[in-house]
Amino acid sequence: MAMFQHTFGIFTNPDREWQRIRNEDQSFFKVYWTHVPLLALIPVICAYFGVTQQGWSIGSGGIVKLTPDSALILCAFAYLAQLAAVYILGEYINWMSHSFGVTDEAPQRHYEGTALAVYSATPMMLAGFVLLFPELWLVAGVFILAACYSIYLIYEGIPILMNIPKERGFVYASSVITVGLVLAVVVMVATVIVWGSGMGPVYVS
């Protein structure tokens, strides 16, 4: 229930919701495992349906679709990549907290770092609904907007969750976003490696 309340709150009143998240008596384990595995299913399931049933077109060409088996492999990889990326980002936030003067106890810092990673990634995962209709221009537009809002949530959330001044929070948030971009590049490189190993997309003929 808290997941839906916080998900709604970070869109309607993010500052107030970050404060509520900070005040919750939760653990790293609970905030991660009750949110990420479920949210990460949204883009995966929608993408599977979109690329196997709807398809997409490039320019004036025909509709392109993937075979179900090929789509399943790629979606499974995407699901695991999401789980890993959110976990790693949360661990980085926790690891860097001492450097930016966060004075909370270790379990609380671990929860705060993970919560920040989870809820700031939520817009990107919810944007996965657009993959039901995988037209490239539409998908790109929606995910760019979602990424911009995720960045905004990180800048707003770090000073509140970590209870540090906004000036210090800005630098902290910038380092988090940099790591997020690095993770995105790593996922793209891993995707190329997977494709090159023979598990790339197989198109419906």
Mean per-residue pLDDT, 28-48: 93
pLDDT digits (tens, 9 = 90+) for 143-177: 999 999 999 999 999 999 999 999 999 999 999 99
Mean of per-residue pLDDT scores for the chain: 91
- How large a percentage of the chain has pLDDT more than 70? 97
* pLDDT tens figures, 104-140: 999 999 999 999 999 999 999 999 999 999 888 999 9
Return the pLDDT at 136.
87
Cα–Cα distance measured from residue 168 to residue 161, given in angstroms and rounded to the nearest whole number: 13
User: Sorting pLDDT into bands at 50, 70 and 90, what band is 2?
Assistant: low
Given a cut of 60, is residue 1 above it in pLDDT? no
pLDDT classification of 49: cutoffs 50, 70, 90: very high
Reduced to 3 states (helix: H, G, I; strand: E, B; else coil), residue 205 is coil
Element (H, E) at 64: strand 63-64
User: pLDDT at position 196, please?
Assistant: 65
Q: What is the pTM of this model?
A: 0.92
Tell me how far apart the alpha carbons of residues 141 and 14 are, in angstroms, rounded to a whole number.
23
pLDDT tens, position by position, 70-85: 899 999 999 999 999 9
